[in-house]
Amino acid sequence: MDQNPIKSPPMTKEKLIEILKGILNTDIDLGFLEKLKENEIERLVACIRERVDTAAK
């Protein structure tokens, strides 16, 4: 029995930056983050999410 998990398409830099805008609740232009590599933006999103979740407790 072959169990292939359904994989979602990788997030684009633009989508990750939109997620950051949502987490930070801001309309500030974060386009400068496009200079980062995709995995660096992913790491930034994860760090900010963790911090926000911790602060909310």
Sorting pLDDT into bands at 50, 70 and 90, what band is 36? Answer: very high
Give the C-alpha separation, 42 to 57, whole Å: 23
Q: Is residue 8 part of a domain?
A: no
Number of domains observed in the structure of the chain:
1
Can you say whether residue 20 is alpha, beta or left, with left for phi > 0 and alpha for psi between -120 and 50 degrees? alpha
Q: Is residue 27 part of a domain?
A: yes
The whole domain housing 28 covers: 13-56
Q: Is residue 20 part of a domain?
A: yes
Q: Is residue 18 part of a domain?
A: yes
Q: Is residue 25 part of a domain?
A: yes
Q: What mean pLDDT comes out for the span 8-37?
A: 90
3, pLDDT greater than 70:
no
Q: Check if the beta carbon of residue 52 is closer than 8 Å to that of residue 38.
A: no
Q: Check: pTM over 0.75? Answer yes or no.
A: no
